């Protein structure tokens, strides 16, 4: 199984090359590849975009909901067991009361039910935050992929100039953008 994951990981990281007349031409950067790779494995799109500094941020953001999920799921299981043991105790079966976690032993069935519901809700919310974090990771890879080849050179000019409209007999100010192409 590890071999399969390794092969898939290496296939995702490969750079596509075309050889023609003994020269190698690299294909243009593809935002779609960045998006797809980031959707498959968080941080892989950022690596494709060569924004390696973002990868620890992605995993840091995704680790918070994972840790809160594990914490809330553990406490949910403990309070669920304790609540069910208290209900069995009320029906005359004391066999599971000794197995209740020592922190929860002094709580009533109503309190345990309330805590159980809170931990279940928080567990489900942490799943939602994980999905949102993963989605933000994919959006970031996509946007960065689109902006990878965006021209920010000095060939871009923005001017504010006076304007007169003969059609409406009005004067005003216009914002003009010019692109200077150099060959």
The whole-chain average pLDDT of the chain stands at: 85
Digit-coded pLDDT (tens) for 28-75: 888 999 999 999 999 999 999 999 999 999 999 999 999 999 999 999
What would the mean pLDDT of 85-108 be, rounded to a whole number?
A: 89
What would the mean pLDDT of 148-159 be, rounded to a whole number?
A: 74
The answer, yes or no, to whether residue 6 has pLDDT greater than 80, is no
Residue 174: predicted pLDDT: 84
Residue 14 to residue 108: CA distance in whole angstroms: 59
- The encoded tokens of residue 57 equal 């941020």
- Identify which of 61, 101, 97 has the alpha carbon closest to the alpha carbon of residue 79: 101
Residue 15: predicted pLDDT: 43
In percent, how much of the chain has pLDDT > 70?
Answer: 82
What would the mean pLDDT of 79-103 be, rounded to a whole number?
A: 90
CB atoms within 10 A of CB 41: 14
User: What's the whole-model pTM score?
Assistant: 0.68
Residue 164 to residue 79: CA distance in whole angstroms: 75
Tell me which of 127 and 10 has the higher pLDDT.
Answer: 127
- Identify which of 38, 62, 59, 76 has the alpha carbon closest to the alpha carbon of residue 127: 62
Backbone angles phi, psi at 136, to 5 degrees: -65, -40
* DSSP-assigned beta bridge partners for residue 163: 172
Tell me which of 122 and 159 has the higher pLDDT.
Answer: 122
* DSSP-assigned beta bridge partners for residue 171: 164
């Amino acid at each position: 199984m590890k071999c399969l994951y390794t092969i898939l990981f290496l296939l995702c990281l490969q750079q596509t090359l075309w050889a023609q007349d003994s020269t190698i031409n690299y294909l243009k950067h593809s935002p779609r590849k960045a998006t797809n790779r980031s959707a498959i494995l968080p941080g892989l799109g950022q690596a494709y975009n060569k924004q390696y500094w973002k990868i620890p941020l992605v995993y840091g953001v995704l680790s918070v909901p994972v840790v809160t999920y594990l914490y809330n799921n553990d406490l949910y299981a403990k309070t669920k067991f304790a609540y069910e043991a208290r209900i069995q105790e009320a029906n005359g079966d004391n066999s599971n009361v000794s197995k209740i976690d020592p922190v929860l032993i002094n709580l009533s069935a109503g309190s345990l039910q309330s805590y159980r519901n809170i931990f279940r809700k928080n567990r489900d919310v942490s799943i939602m935050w994980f999905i949102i974090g993963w989605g933000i990771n994919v959006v970031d890879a996509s946007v960065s992929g689109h902006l990878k080849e965006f021209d920010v050179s000095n060939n871009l000019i923005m001017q504010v100039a006076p304007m007169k409209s003969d059609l409406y007999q009005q004067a005003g100010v216009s914002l003009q953008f010019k692109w200077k192409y150099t060959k």
